Amino acid sequence: MDMSLGFEDILLKQDLDREDIKVLLSARGPQQERLLKRGLEVKLSNLDNYVHLRGLIEYENVCEKNCLYCGLRSGNAKVERYCLSDEEVLSCARLAHGQGYGSVALQSGERSDPDFVRKIAYLVREIKKIDGGSLGITLSLGEQTEETYRMWFEAGAHRYLLRIESSNEELYYKIHPRNDLHSFRKRLDCLETLKRIGYQTGTGVMVGLPYQTLDHLADDLLFFKEMDVAMVGLGPYIPHPDTPLYKLKDLIPPAEERMSLTLKMIAILRMMMPQINMVAATANQTIDPQGREKAIAAGANVIMPNLTPGEYRESYFIYPDKACVKDRPEQCQTCLDIRLAAIGHRILYNAWGDSLAFTKKAGK
């Protein structure tokens, strides 16, 4: 960092380095407001005031993994496990289409057995049949082999979200068991594979983890840039009482601090990667009722309204007090239109809403 630079100069810099990012992450009061406004300005001049929707279908909560922070971990015996039927998934997708969402996101715990792999390929193909392929499909189904990723891509999925959770290997192993099933190296390889296959590849981190420092967060942002990803989803970490990481909850910043760090991360990343898609995570709204709008107003441009049938939602218990668990999709849409209009944004209906950073590079 050039020591003669003031806060305003850093806000206008093209290439932020680690020290610049740390200065911005430390901003408080009026400087923090200025940073968030800068995130918004950069977004509006690159992507206009559109918000893209992905109807979220939480396909199943069975998971082979044992991440130390997540309520769906295999070691949590308290969860009632479910898997949606084919018809339930397809009716969610038809609902998304009917509401003009343009895209769906299929998310679940991680499974890699042949039945699961074939089932997902089948569901993707069936979703693609709705109105001649008018729905875009994002998958968020964890680490898989290259063959599986290719099968799902050929079936019609074109975006994949796999958060790195933390780009710092040491911190990664503080929040995951240190074994082959939770290999940091494998996660990196998966991201590379997804990009090579041609997916619009997204990653992200949790903000406010135990032991996480501003250096870690600055490096996470540099990692996204270095990986040249098309999408990012980042949100505050929320301690779940039935997970091992919960015992470290006194080491993490208070909820408002995790929220404000998340907003600063979004604004800085928007400055660094002006044309990527960035999700306003539901976890934001869980911490702060205005959290999703605040994320949009700091530079995010994607929202994932939950379409999972009501009776299953409480079993997809990643973290406590998840927002919108009781909302019906129709309510959700009106509520979103109003909330977004109030902050000068509008939903782009009936469009896939691909990452501009990706489509430009691909020459589309």
Given 116, 237, 317, 352, the residue binding ligand SAM (CB under 6 A): 237
Residue number with CB closer to ligand SF4 (177 or 274): 177
Count CB neighbours of 199 within 10 A.
25
Nearest to 287 by CA among 332, 251, 249, 254: 254
Give the range of 35-43, 86-94, 103-111, 175-183 binding ligand SAM by CB under 6 A. 103-111
Element containing residue 104 per DSSP (H, E): strand 103-108
Q: Which of residues 318-347 bind ligand SAM (CB under 6 A)?
A: 318-319
Q: Work out whether 165 is an interface residue with ligand SAM (CB under 6 A).
A: yes
CB of 353 to ligand SF4, least distance (A): 24
| Tokens (6 digits) for 42 | 């950069």
Given 57, 60, 69, 263, the residue binding ligand SAM (CB under 6 A): 69
Give Cα 5 distance to the centre of its chain. 33
Q: Work out whether 109 is an interface residue with ligand SAM (CB under 6 A).
A: yes
Residue pair 174/210 in contact (Cβ under 8 Å)? The answer is yes
CB of 122 to ligand SAM, least distance (A): 19
Q: Work out whether 267 is an interface residue with ligand SAM (CB under 6 A).
A: no
Residue number with CB closer to ligand SF4 (223 or 316): 316
* Number of chain residues interacting with ligand SF4 (CB under 6 A): 9
Q: Work out whether 109 is an interface residue with ligand SF4 (CB under 6 A).
A: yes
The DSSP result for 295-360, as a single string, is HHHHT--EE--B-S-HHHHTT--SSTT-TTTT--HHHHHHHHHHHHHHTT-EE-TTS----HHHHH
Binding mask 41-80 for ligand SF4 (x = CB under 6 A): ----------------------x-x-x--x-xx-------
Binding mask 307-336 for ligand SF4 (x = CB under 6 A): ------------------------------
Residue number with CB closer to ligand SAM (304 or 340): 304
CB of 165 to ligand SF4, least distance (A): 8
Q: Work out whether 111 is an interface residue with ligand SF4 (CB under 6 A).
A: no
Sign of CA dihedral 359, 162, 92, 314: negative
Binding mask 123-142 for ligand SAM (x = CB under 6 A): -----------------x-x
Q: Work out whether 202 is an interface residue with ligand SAM (CB under 6 A).
A: no
Count CB neighbours of 133 within 10 A.
11
The DSSP result for 21-72, as a single string, is HHHHHT--HHHHHHHHHHHHHHHHHHHTTEEEE-EEEEEE---S---TT-TT
Residue number with CB closer to ligand SF4 (72 or 231): 72
Strand-pair partners of 51 = 347
CB of 174 to ligand SAM, least distance (A): 14
Q: Round to whole Å and give the CA distance between 360 and 47.
A: 13
Q: Round to whole Å and give the CA distance between 59 and 57.
A: 6
Q: Round to whole Å and give the CA distance between 165 and 143.
A: 13
Q: Which residues bind ligand SAM (CB under 6 A)?
A: 69-70, 72, 107, 109-110, 140, 142, 162-163, 165, 206, 235, 237-238, 240, 283, 318-319
